[in-house]
């Protein structure tokens, strides 16, 4: 489905990003795996190659605009262009109410989860224009549409990602670049399971009418469709994949 395409997936050393990178490679894309965790990123590349795919690893911190530019430059240098991107890298941040929220925690969450997506778009879009067009997915969250207590920075950042997606999509709709957002519910990833205890995880399951948490592979299937030519009339959209969470 993605033959002859070059794709960047940020935060693809683990979790949702890794699942997307693996699926894109299996569908024929040449994938640039990017993460701050060098070992995890190289492990993802090794898995892709073992399965017959083509990939390289570029270490990059999405909160650093210079890294965002270098990631795109190295992608174009290695594979000759850029057609697809998934701006997935993100963190949860501290769990505190707004009146007690640490300022440095706010700054870090916004830098990675919102500014990092902007830096991605800032350098991916010019490269895609030179390649004749492309498609970008920004990974938002159900908390890009709803609120929750104790995560004001995360909620603000993910709402911002949805707005940024719409603005950029309108700007480039007539230049053969589609830009969409995906809003996962609670997904079984290291980011989630390592930070929460079993009782909290069970409570999270109860928030999803479907009766379980999602998987990275399920999100990857949506990301595959959105970045494929099968979604050629879709831009500026937000697709939640949340087991019914936002239907309540």
Q: Establish whether 154 is a catalytic residue.
A: yes
Active site residue: 119, 154, 186, 239, which one? 154
Residue in the block written with tokens 């050629």: 232
How far apart (Å, rounded) are the C-alpha atoms in residues 156 and 103? 14
CA angle 40, 45, 48 (to 5 degrees): 125
Indicate which residues carry an active-site annotation: 154
């Amino acid at each position: 489905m993605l033959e002859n395409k070059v794709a960047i997936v940020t935060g693809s050393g683990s979790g949702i990003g890794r699942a997307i990178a693996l699926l894109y490679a299996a569908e024929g894309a040449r994938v640039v795996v990017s993460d701050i965790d060098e070992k995890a990123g190289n492990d993802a590349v090794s898995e892709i190659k073992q399965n017959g795919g083509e990939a390289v690893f570029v270490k990059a911190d999405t909160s650093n605009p210079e890294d965002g530019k270098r990631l795109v430059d190295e992608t174009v240098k290695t594979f000759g262009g850029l057609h697809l991107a998934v701006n997935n890298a993100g963190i949860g941040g501290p769990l505190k109410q707004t009146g007690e929220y640490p300022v440095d925690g706010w700054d870090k969450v916004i830098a990675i989860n919102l500014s990092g997506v902007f830096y991605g778009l800032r350098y991916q879009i010019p490269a895609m224009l030179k390649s004749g067009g492309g498609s970008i997915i920004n990974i938002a969250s159900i908390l890009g549409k709803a609120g929750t207590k104790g995560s004001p920075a995360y909620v603000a950042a993910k709402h911002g990602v949805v707005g940024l997606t719409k603005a950029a999509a309108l700007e480039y709709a007539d230049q053969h670049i589609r830009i969409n957002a995906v809003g996962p519910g609670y997904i079984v990833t290291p980011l989630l399971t390592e930070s929460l205890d079993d009782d909290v995880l069970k409570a999270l399951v109860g928030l999803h009418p479907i009766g379980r948490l999602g998987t990275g592979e399920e999100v990857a299937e949506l990301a595959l469709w959105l970045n494929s030519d099968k979604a050629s009339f879709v831009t500026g959209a937000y697709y939640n994949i949340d087991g019914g969470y936002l239907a309540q």
